[in-house]
Amino acid sequence: MVVVALENATKLEAAEVQSLAQGAGISLPDKDIDDWCVLLGSFEDSAQSVLKEDDCLPIPDPKVYTRTDIYVPEDNNKGGWATRCTVKSTAPTSDRLGGCTVAVKDNTAVAGVRCLNGLPPVDGEWIPAYDATIITRVLDAGGIIAGKAACENACMECLSNTSYTGAILNPYSDNHGCGGSSSGSARLVAVGAVDMALGGDQGGSIRIPSAFCGIVGLKPTFGLVPYTGILGHQSTFDHAGPMTKNVRDNALLLEVIAGPDGRDDRQPAYLPPQSLRFSSALDDFLASKPKDQLLQGFKIGVLKEGFDSKEMDPNIANANYSAIEDLKALGAEIVEVSVPSHIRHITTWMCSLPLIGCRQGILGDTTGRKQLEMTDRGVTAAPAMGPSASARLSQKAFDSFGPGGQSLYLRYLYVQEKYGASLHAKCTNLLYKATQEYDAVLATVDVLVMPTVPMPALSIAPFAGAPVAGPLETISYPIGIVNNTAQFDATGHPALSIPVGFVPAADDPAVKLPAGLQIVGKRFEDLTCFKVGAAWEQSKDWKTLVFEN
């Protein structure tokens, strides 16, 4: 470890150096204490000089990127909105979005607009000074940011009843949830409050609410879309993606936000520009053949284990099997394929989350990364983190989290105490093995298909107006919801959810709720998922289809 300068260096007190060493369980020879006082004092001088410098946050030009009408709405569209605003560019570089209104998940930085991340503002609201890369790209394409869509508490819940701003109600039933954590984004698109929305996905948080609300949602290939300026969970699982009314709009929004930004280390350094032209390539495909022959030459693998979970609702399965028969009628070859460890990979994904997921997602410790560090968020990132290397949440901060966030934090403490880094290391290797397993199956087919979620939207009535449920009841209630989604956050494969009909609600057969089909492709072949989804979408009106035993 080098020393930059010693001239006029500060000299620490011997007691401070000795206390530092003793706190770490080590001892320093008495003869070396004076040397360490000088060396550490010199480092303190350097640290203070660095902290005084401007850290070059990407603050937008207010004359080019204008912001007006920023307010907290009294009518939040049954929970959909967290904050309203109008953000647009006075000099867009293209008209690809041509005035389309876009809602933004409330874990994404929009300069001048509060960012709650579904949490109460424990130590004051965070109002970012900059825009996330995907926001700038939407504005440059002529899109209009219409507001921040409510998301679940710390983006760690999946029912849509935990946001600080209130429960987010399903567009088809006020007694049912939207799924999470991109719950507000899904609702606002489904009810037509906006043309498009941006969501985030670490375990299914784009696809689950898309399936529950009857819209199209894509978890892109890992690294395709920059995550710069977005609050995450774990850098190896973080994805941002489009949520839209139809597949073509999804391809268009992906085209706008995709591609390396030079700052996010999740991304490859270069992607050929022609590989990012999703909407025009999809248009060419749809015009290339008669509609009833679009999938000739495609081989589609029906993932056996995707239908095998004990939580599988038979009506959801039937809706998916019907859609698969439709794909066959469009010319595709349909084959059954198997990844025997498909459900087992969920356990590995879950065990990999606590150590890094808590450090990055709760404590705000993103050291070791090349990315935009959101230094303007300050102590809000971890309200009681403090200067200690063994950071801990205060009681006040802990209480601000819902059961999902609290569970992650307590699991983090447990893993730190019992396993250290060994469990995470084991999971990392096993998830690479999982990636290889899906790659091997995808080498034999163009895409995999399965239900997005094994059940329709869940009732939130048990958690409304009743005594607060305990963590066991709350966390166990949606078991099975990520059975077909979380694996692909870990492996990075693109996964598209499209609505394929309605099914009865599990608690009330008179209520009909959407069902989703998930289409999973090879990495960086998101376009293939769009082709399959759009071909089905052109052949059927999903809103006319009802599947019930």
* Residues annotated as catalytic (active site), given as ranges: 105, 181, 205
Q: Where are the alpha helices (DSSP H) in 366-519?
A: 395-400, 403-418, 422-442, 471-476, 486-491
CB distance 132 to 229 below 8 Å: yes
CA atoms within 13 A on the CB side of 267: 21
CB distance 198 to 150 below 8 Å: no
168 vs 118, 177, 178, CA distance in Å? Answer: 11, 7, 7
Please give the distance of CA 19 from its chain centroid, rounded to a whole number.
Answer: 42
SS3 (DSSP) at 53: coil
- CA separation for the pair 109, 116 (Å, rounded): 10
SS3 (DSSP) at 393: coil
- CB-based contacts of 260, cutoff 8 Å, min separation 6: 226, 267, 268, 269, 270, 271
Inter-helix orientation angle 314-329/526-539, to 10°: 90
Q: Which of 290, 282, 296 is nearest to 254 (CA)?
A: 282
- CA separation for the pair 485, 452 (Å, rounded): 7
- CA separation for the pair 114, 462 (Å, rounded): 31
Strands (E) located in 13-80: 65-71
- Residue whose tokens read 């349909």: 334
- CA separation for the pair 218, 50 (Å, rounded): 41
Q: Which of 308, 289, 309 is nearest to 297 (CA)?
A: 289
